[in-house]
């Protein structure tokens, strides 16, 4: 089961970053950035599959590279958030009822209760705005719910028979945590983070309210959707194709998350 699980996780990671590799293959970076104002806001046609935007740029190419940027960004956020969740949740669960647990639970509640917009704007004062700092910003916000989940799992597993027998065998509590308990929490944590993926793209939209996020002219899915909705009439295609693409990708991710869930569920029996 373990090897199957790792294969599943590796496959998910591959699918997550696939658009980054596919973009230069299926599209052209120069077409995504070249401005032709005489072709502004053209509807979809054979020459421009997804139409053109207000500066005459090919929406097909901007969609491909935008998807690549967004998913790369999201994958980066998940990659940063995952170890953070495991560490924080693991310590909190391991020391349940003591001050490390209380401190970490307090931090989790703080993240939930703080207005996200405020964190974003303050963050950009410390780090320069741009695609490079975005994964860190998003990871700083999304780690909280899965960390709570990890904490719960660690508390539950701490009372399980195999842990008790390992303890009786003389292994230290920290060794048991690192070698036995945390690996078992990896799958549900990964699944939980995968379910957050669509919200990560949504954060890009929220950043647009403050003029933050990816710097122009770099496209991202969230930005394409937001700008497209604002030009819905007369250019319905600007928001439609990125939205459909995002829908389809989210469905795929949910299916993968379900698959991982089924694998771990099957192993539990």
CB 220 → another protein: shortest distance, Å? 12
- Contacting another protein (CB under 8 A), which of 13, 18, 119, 140? 119
Peptide bond into 234 cis (omega under 30): yes
Q: Residue 133: is it exposed, middle or buried by C-beta count within 10 angstroms (0-12/13-18/19+)?
A: middle
Nearest-Å Rg of the Cα atoms of the chain is: 22
Q: List the beta bridge partners of residue 206.
A: none
First to last CA, the chain: 11
Asked if 199 is part of the footprint of another protein (rule: CB under 8 A), the reply reads: yes
CB 58 → another protein: shortest distance, Å? 14
Q: Which of 217, 90, 203 is nearest to 136 (CA)?
A: 203
* Residue with smaller CB distance to another protein, 170 or 234: 234
Asked if 225 is part of the footprint of another protein (rule: CB under 8 A), the reply reads: yes
Could you tell me how many residues of this chain bind another protein (CB under 8 A)?
A: 58
* Residue with smaller CB distance to another protein, 25 or 118: 118
Q: Residue 78: is it exposed, middle or buried by C-beta count within 10 angstroms (0-12/13-18/19+)?
A: buried
* Residue with smaller CB distance to another protein, 1 or 37: 37
- Of the ranges 8-16, 76-84, 121-129, 136-144, which one interacts with another protein (CB under 8 A)? 121-129
Residue corresponding to tokens 């790369």: 72
Q: Are 149 and 192 in contact (CB under 8 A)?
A: yes
Asked if 41 is part of the footprint of another protein (rule: CB under 8 A), the reply reads: yes
Asked if 30 is part of the footprint of another protein (rule: CB under 8 A), the reply reads: no
Return residues touching another protein (CB under 8 A).
Answer: 33-35, 37-38, 40-41, 54-56, 106, 109-110, 112-119, 121-122, 124-126, 128-129, 198-199, 201-202, 205-206, 209-213, 215-217, 225-226, 229-235, 243, 246-247, 250-251, 253-254
């Amino acid at each position: 089961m373990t090897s199957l699980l790792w294969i599943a996780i590796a496959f998910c990671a591959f699918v997550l970053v696939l658009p980054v590799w596919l973009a230069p293959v299926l599209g052209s970076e120069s077409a995504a950035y070249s401005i032709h104002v005489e072709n502004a806001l053209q509807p979809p046609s054979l020459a421009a599959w997804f139409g053109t935007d207000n500066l005459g740029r090919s929406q097909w190419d901007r969609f491909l590279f935008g998807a690549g940027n967004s998913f790369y960004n999201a994958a980066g956020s998940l990659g940063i958030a995952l170890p953070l969740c495991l560490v924080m949740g693991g310590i909190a669960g391991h020391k349940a009822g003591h001050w490390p647990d209380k401190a970490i639970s307090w931090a989790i509640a703080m993240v939930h209760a703080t207005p996200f917009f405020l964190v974003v704007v303050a963050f950009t004062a410390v780090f320069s705005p741009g695609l490079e700092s975005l994964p860190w910003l998003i990871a700083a916000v999304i780690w909280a719910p899965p960390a709570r989940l990890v904490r719960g799992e660690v508390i539950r597993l701490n009372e399980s028979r195999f842990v008790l027998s390992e303890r009786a065998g003389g292994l230290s509590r920290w060794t048991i945590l690192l070698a036995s308990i945390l690996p078992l929490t990896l799958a549900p944590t990964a699944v939980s983070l995968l379910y957050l993926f669509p919200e990560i793209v949504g954060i890009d939209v929220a950043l647009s309210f403050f003029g933050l996020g990816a710097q122009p002219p770099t496209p991202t899915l969230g930005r394409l959707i937001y700008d497209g909705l604002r030009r819905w009439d007369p250019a319905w295609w600007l928001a439609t194709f990125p939205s459909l693409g995002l829908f389809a990708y989210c469905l795929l991710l949910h299916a993968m998350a379900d698959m991982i869930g089924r694998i771990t569920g099957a192993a539990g029996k």
